[in-house]
Structure 1
Amino acid sequence: TQKTLSRYLEVAVTAEMVKALDVETARDIYELNYYRIPRIDKLPPPIQPFLFDSAVNHGPRRAIKFLQEVCNDAGYGPLVVDGLMGPKSKAQAYACLQELGDWMIVALVEERQMFYADIVTNDASQNVFLKGWLARARSFLPDYRVA
């Protein structure tokens, strides 16, 4: 958006400047706003792709709330579900992944699916998007196919 690009460049930008945005700058903005600032880069690598995608889709605070809720549900808390990645949330994320392994990713996907279901419950007009949203969330599930 114009606002995001203006903040990143620290100057007012026009709609034309947004349209002319190069891929490298867009990538830098995504990395900064949805990966580094929310500290997703400090979390266990196996959960970073899911959380980064969640941050882009729902905002960084909602992504971190998914993590905090899963850690609490798994007994790695209590964490305040505030969407901020502090040292306690980071430590519990590592502990939770160490114990649960891939099941932590499954739990994160389930948390996101419930979030989507709540959106549709609160606004039935959003149901048209549900199938795609769920497919996006499920794309992060570990592949357990047997050869």
Structure 2
Amino acid sequence: MSDHLRQYQHVFESAFRLLLEFEGGFVDDPDDSGGKTKYGISQNAYPNLDIAALTKAQAKEIYQRDYFEACKAHLMPEKMAVLVFDTAVNMGVRSAIKLLQQAIKTDVDGIIGPNTLRALKQANRVQGDNLFIEYQSLRAKQYAEIIARRPSNGKYAKGWFRRQFKLQQYLSQQVSFAEEAL
């Protein structure tokens, strides 16, 4: 684990605790395109994993490696890291990154590279909390587009928006994730 990842471990830990409030135990909803899920880990995304037997520790490891690190959240401002990570879990890593790129008004390719990181740093400096609000607005729009494409997903709308508002409330109350970890 790199030094930067180690320094951001407290951010991931906070994000993971919050995530578990949204992503519960075992679910097998026929309308869910992910198939069987546990702690939000889906059978479709991990076809060789015994989802029913998945432990919280295994889920945490998957989330850190395949979502938090994959979207390079450890290189983002703390609040944005949590927001992008949660979006990656809920909508996919590429979608989360594309929303970020739209919010910071840079090339939208779904890849976090040096240009995106530079643009994020600049946008964060100039826009501050407005960047966070812009990302949340784009995320809400994405939910609406998902429902428009697949109306059966409308039954998830209340939960998706509840998740978004709870996440916004949580992050607006965070002064520092390091202080929370104490």
Match of 1:75?
A: none
Match of 2:14?
A: none
Is 2:102 the counterpart of 1:69? yes
Match of 1:104?
A: 131
Indicate conservation of the 8 Å contact 1:105/1:140, yes or no. no
Question: RMSD of the TM alignment (CA)?
Answer: 2.1
Q: CA deviation at 1:33?
A: 0.1
User: 1:2/1:106 Cα in 2 relative to 1: closer, same or farther (>3 Å)?
Assistant: closer
Question: CA deviation digits over 1:89-114, x for unaligned, max 9?
Answer: 01111111111111111111100000
Q: CA deviation at 1:22?
A: 2.8
Question: CA deviation digits over 1:4-60, x for unaligned, max 9?
Answer: 385xxxxxx6x3xx4333322221111000011221211111201111100011111
Indicate conservation of the 8 Å contact 1:71/1:96, yes or no. yes
Is 2:29 the counterpart of 1:4? no
* Larger RCO (CA under 8 A, 6+ residues apart): 2
Decide which of 55, 75, 89 is 1:42's aligned counterpart: 75
| Aligned equivalents of 1:115, 1:2: Cα separation in 2 | 21
Amino acid at match of 1:134: F
Match of 1:121?
A: 148
Match of 2:6?
A: none
Amino acid at match of 1:137: Q
Q: TM-score, normalised by structure 1?
A: 0.77
| Aligned equivalents of 1:103, 1:140: Cα separation in 2 | 16
| Aligned equivalents of 1:19, 1:130: Cα separation in 2 | 25
Identity score, percent: 27
Q: CA deviation at 1:137?
A: 1.6
Specify the SS of the correspondent of 1:125. Answer: helix
Amino acid at match of 1:27: K
| Aligned equivalents of 1:23, 1:126: Cα separation in 2 | 26
Decide which of 12, 18, 30 is 2:63's aligned counterpart: 30
